[in-house]
């Protein structure tokens, strides 16, 4: 495992981090996600990314992670970076969503209970709140760090201008922003329109989520939409209408380059993000241990020739 410094901080993160957004809830098979966590840690993945609402049901990923932490990883807490977030709907009423100090502090208290932890390493505000003053939300992160309930503060899904403001407010409060978690992949590149420059200038790390575009950047869609895929179910974040004939042609062309690089399309998609030194770590999910093992092989080759990069750009146009 390669470890990269997170912005200007003292923290190094593994080039690949494990996210528990899917596959770790009470609806999932305990034996399976237990094996995924074991393989991750044994492979040098020290960073585990959660949020209050991960499951389903919401909260269950944190409960399951906490249980396995207690049963299987006793004594290893100080070798791990554990993160959580709040910002999406978690409970009914006006105080279980968005970015108020009331919500963030209460939510983290609940997350710590579910995981059986005294503190998380990183606590994020999960998404910008158009109605709460940014000063209040950032003051909540500052308070949480000063209380010792989190060691570092992060933000997620913030566009460039708002991220710059949030980073500036945190700096003034004396709790620098450690990291930003945006959606970023070969198919979703809004962060290149200013956000990556902001993070580089301010010395803030970057951890892209959905690096495989909800599975589009894998060999799963090379021949259309398989019956067992997320797109076929249209129940998650990937809808059938996103898998157009044009998109499938792009996937096939990208796969041709991956094959020439002796990589799977998924491995190349992860390597493509990691080629940028502004990207600290890439956040992957896994539905089974074999999938995680496959993703880890991306680290065998994260170098791209100029010709490869220009061919990829031509395809992505």
Q: Which CATH superfamily is domain 3-220+265-304 in?
A: NADP-dependent oxidoreductase domain (3.20.20.100)
**SS3 for 34?**
helix
Q: Whose CA is closest to 215, among 178, 187, 180, 177?
A: 187
Print pLDDT tens along the chain (317 aa). Answer: 999 999 999 999 999 999 999 999 999 999 999 999 999 999 999 999 999 999 999 999 999 999 999 999 999 999 999 999 999 999 999 999 999 999 999 999 999 999 999 999 999 999 999 999 999 999 999 999 999 999 999 999 999 999 999 999 999 999 999 999 999 999 999 999 999 999 999 999 999 999 999 999 999 888 877 766 666 665 566 666 678 889 999 999 999 999 999 999 999 999 999 999 999 999 999 999 999 999 999 999 999 999 999 999 999 99
Segments making up each domain of the chain, as ranges = 3-220+265-304
pTM above 0.85, yes or no: yes
């Amino acid at each position: 495992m390669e470890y990269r410094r997170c912005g200007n901080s003292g923290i190094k993160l593994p080039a690949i981090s494990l996210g528990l957004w899917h596959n770790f809830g009470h609806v999932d098979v305990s034996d399976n996600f237990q094996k995924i966590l074991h393989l991750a840690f044994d492979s040098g993945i020290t960073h585990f990314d959660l949020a209050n609402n991960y499951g389903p049901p919401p909260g269950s990923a944190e409960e399951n992670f906490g249980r396995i932490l207690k049963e299987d990883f006793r004594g290893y807490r100080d070798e791990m970076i554990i993160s959580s977030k709040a910002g999406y709907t978690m409970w009914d009423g006006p105080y279980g969503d968005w970015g108020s100090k009331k919500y963030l502090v209460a939510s983290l208290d609940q997350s710590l209970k579910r995981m059986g932890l005294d503190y998380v390493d990183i606590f994020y505000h999960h998404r910008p709140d158009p109605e709460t003053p940014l000063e209040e939300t950032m003051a909540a992160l500052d308070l949480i760090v000063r209380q010792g309930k989190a060691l570092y503060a992060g933000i997620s899904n913030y566009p460039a201008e708002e991220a710059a403001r949030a980073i500036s407010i945190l700096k003034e409060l004396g709790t620098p922003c450690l990291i930003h978690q945006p959606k970023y992949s070969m198919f979703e590149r809004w962060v290149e329109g200013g956000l990556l420059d902001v993070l580089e200038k301010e010395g803030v790390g970057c951890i892209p989520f959905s690096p495989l575009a909800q599975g589009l950047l894998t060999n799963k869609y090379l021949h259309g939409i398989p019956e067992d895929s997320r797109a076929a179910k249209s129940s998650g974040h990937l809808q059938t209408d996103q898998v157009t004939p044009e998109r499938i042609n792009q996937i096939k062309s990208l796969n041709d380059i991956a094959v020439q690089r002796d990589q799977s399309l998924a491995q190349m998609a992860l390597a493509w993000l990691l080629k940028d030194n502004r990207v600290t770590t890439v956040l992957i999910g896994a539905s089974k241990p074999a999938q995680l093992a496959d993703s880890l092989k991306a680290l065998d080759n994260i170098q791209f020739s100029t010709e490869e990069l220009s061919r990829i750009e031509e395809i992505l146009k």
